[in-house]
Each structure stands twice: as structure tokens, then as C-alpha cells.
Amino acid sequence: MQASPSQASSRNSPFMTPSSPGAAQRSAPDLCEPCAGIQQHWRKAPGHAELVQGTHHREDRGNGQASFTRYRCDRCGAAWEYENNKANQHAGWALLAH
């Protein structure tokens, strides 16, 4: 039995649909445009002007210290953390919650 064209195209579509497993985890449609543009997990990537600084702490790592600063976006409410760690190029921005 042949699949209808609409069934075949949806099954082979490279785009995620809302019913796809993990679709809600992979996209964050509620982020404002500036937050959506933040490059995550890359040291020295810029944030944006509406991020308000929160708490700050340091952790000793085997190869030096890393500092962590939390931010909240005034526009969309997203919670971010910026890790500054000279030994890890893939530190940087991480979206904590939205």
C-alpha cells in the first residue's frame, strides 16, 4: 500500500514539527530576538543590552579558576549564565531556563 503524498512528505521532512520527540527542548520560540541571537557555549560571545546581571561566583578548576555570572533578560525573562574560563573555549553563554 502506497503512502499518500502528504504522509510521505511529512515522514521525510527535515523540519521538526511540534509533535516531534524533543521538539520543545530543541527550540525556544518564546525567546526575544536578541536572546535568540546569543551564541551559546563560545567564550567571549556577546550578550545583549537587556540582560540584567545577577549573582556571581568563582570555582577552582584543575587548570585555574572559572567565574560564573547569572543574567536575566528584561524583555523575555530568560535566565542565562555566562562562564568565563580561559582554559575552555566552549564556556560562555548557557540558557538556564525560560
Domain ranges of the chain: 30-97
pLDDT of 11:
46
For 43-94, how does the pLDDT look when each residue is reduced to its tens digit (9 = 90+)? Answer: 899 999 999 999 999 999 888 899 999 999 999 999 999 999 998 889 999 9
Q: How far apart are CA 2 and CA 13, in angstroms?
A: 17
CA proximity to 91, closest of 58, 67, 59: 67
pTM comes to 0.67
**25 pLDDT above the threshold of 80:** no
**7 pLDDT above the threshold of 90:** no
**36 pLDDT above the threshold of 80:** yes
Q: How many Å is the Cα radius of gyration of the chain? A: 19
Element (H, E) at 93: strand 92-97
Mean pLDDT of 28-49: 91
